[in-house]
Amino acid sequence: RGVFNAGGGAAGGVSFLPSAGPWRRREALKDAEEEQPGAVGGGALRRLERPAAPLPLEPAPTAPPSSAENVVLPVLVLACDRSTVRRCLDKLLRYRPSPERFPVIVSQDCGHAETARVIASYGDAVAHIRQPELADVAVPAEHRKFQGYYKIARHYRWALGQVFRAFRYRAAIVVEDDLEVAPDFFEYFQAAFPLLLADRSLWCVSAWNDNGKEQLVDAGQAELLYRTDFFPGLGWLLLAELWDELEPKWPRAFWDDWMRQPEQRRGRSCVRPEVSRTVTFGRKGVSHGQFFDQYLKFIKLNDRFVPFTRLDLSYLKKEEYERSFPARVYAAPEVRLEELQGNRRRELGAVRVQYTGRDSFKAFAKALGLMDDLKSGVPRAGYRGIVSFVYRGRRVYLAPPSDWTGYDPSWS
C-alpha cells in the first residue's frame, strides 16, 4: 500500500501512466521516497505530466475516433465523517470501466475513525489521502455557525491541490461522499472531456440537473445534454488549468456560490444532462435535512446506459449551440402560465413561458415546480436566462424576452 506525500512522491509501488492522448510517461520525482505527514493511504495512484505547451483548441484532425477511450480521469471523492461513503464507492467501483483510466482517490477530512476504516476496507481499489489540518478554522464571530462551510472550502483546496500539484493530473472528476452515480457516469465524462478541452467557453462538465426531479425531465431522452450558465457541482469535471486560475483566490467558505459569481465564471458555461448522472443520499450535512427532504430526494437518477462516446456532441460547442438553441426556444409558441397549468393547447408541442423580471421568474418557477433561486442573476440550469424542463409530459422553456442582453447580478 502506497504512502503519498504532499509533494507528490510515493513509497510502496506507485505506478505511472503510459502515454495517453497528449500526455507522455513521467519519471518518478526525486522526492518520491520522502514521506510527509497528511497524505497516507493505499491504492496504486498514478501520475500524469501536464503538457509543457498549451493544448490546441481543436483536436488534431488525424486523431482516431477512439482516442477518448485512452483518457485518464481520476475521480476525487471528498469524504469526512459519513461511513455511508461505502454506498458512493461501491457504485463508482461497480460502474468503473477501467481502474487505469479512472483511478479513485478518496480525500478524507475530519479524522473520523469509522469512515477511515470503511475507506481502508477497499484496499488497493482506491487511494486514501488525508487532509492534515483538522483544527477549527478561525472565523468571524458572526460566522461561527458556518464553521462547517469553512472546513469544506479548506478541504477542497487541499484535495484539489493534491490532485493537480502533487499527482499532476490533467483533469479530475470531483464527487462528494454522499453521491450515488449512474451506470453511464464514466461514459458521460469520458465523452465530454474532449469538448471541455476544445471549447474554452466551457469551464466544467457536471453530472447534475438542478431541475432534475422525475416529473420535470424526459427520461426517454437521457442522451440529451445542455449548456448552462449556472455552476451545478455535484459530480463535475474540471481541467488543471482552471485550478491554476482558481487556487490563488480560493475562498475561505461557500466555495460553490463563489464559483457562481461573475468574477469567477467570466461568461463561461458548463455542460449538464437532461437526466442527472448523480443523486445525493446524504440528508446529514452542513445544509441539514430540509433542502434534501423538499427537493434533493426527488431527483431522477439515470438508469439507462447511453453510449456517449459514440454520439456526436458537437452541438454543444458554443457557436453551434448559439445558432440552434435560442432559435428553437423562441420558435416555440408562447403560452400563459394558466394555459400550461390547465393542460390546454397541447397540440402546440413544445411551448415557451416568458418572464419579464426577477419577480415574474420566481413566481413562474415556483408555480411550475422549478428551483426559483438565482445566483448572481443566473437561474439554476439556465442558459441565456432560459430554463428547459418538462411539465405534464411536454417540453417547456421558461425564457426571458428574445432581446435578452445579459444577467443582472442584483437578481437574487
| Cβ atoms of residues 237 and 189 within 8 Å | yes
| Cβ atoms of residues 204 and 270 within 8 Å | yes
Q: Is the dihedral of CA 394, 191, 228, 107 positive or negative?
A: positive
pLDDT recorded at residue 126: 99
pLDDT recorded at residue 68: 52
| Cβ atoms of residues 381 and 230 within 8 Å | yes
Residues 6+ apart with CB under 8 A from 120: 41, 42, 128
Annotated catalytic residue within 81, 256, 257, 408: 256
Cell of 375: 445566483
Beta bridge partners of 105: 76, 127
From first to last of its 412 residues, the chain has per-residue pLDDT tens of 333 433 333 333 233 333 333 332 233 323 333 333 344 444 445 444 343 333 333 333 333 444 556 778 999 999 999 999 999 999 999 999 999 999 999 999 999 999 999 999 999 999 999 999 999 999 999 999 999 999 999 999 999 999 999 999 999 999 999 999 999 999 999 999 999 999 999 999 999 999 999 999 999 999 999 999 999 999 999 999 999 999 999 999 999 999 999 999 999 999 999 999 999 997 666 554 667 777 888 999 999 999 999 999 999 999 999 999 999 999 999 999 999 999 999 999 999 999 999 999 999 999 999 999 999 999 999 999 999 999 999 999 999 999 999 999 999 8
Beta bridge partners of 13: none
Cell of 407: 444577467
pLDDT recorded at residue 46: 43
String of b and e for 268-286 (b: at least 16 CB within 10 Å)?
bbbbbbbbbbbbbbbeebe
pLDDT recorded at residue 294: 79
Element (H, E) at 259: helix 255-259
Strands 269-273 and 236-239: unpaired
How far apart (Å, rounded) are the C-alpha atoms in residues 251 and 157?
Answer: 9
Is 335 strand, coil or helix?
Answer: coil
pLDDT recorded at residue 285: 61
pLDDT recorded at residue 174: 99
Cell of 163: 490532485
Decide if 31 is catalytic: no
pLDDT recorded at residue 292: 77
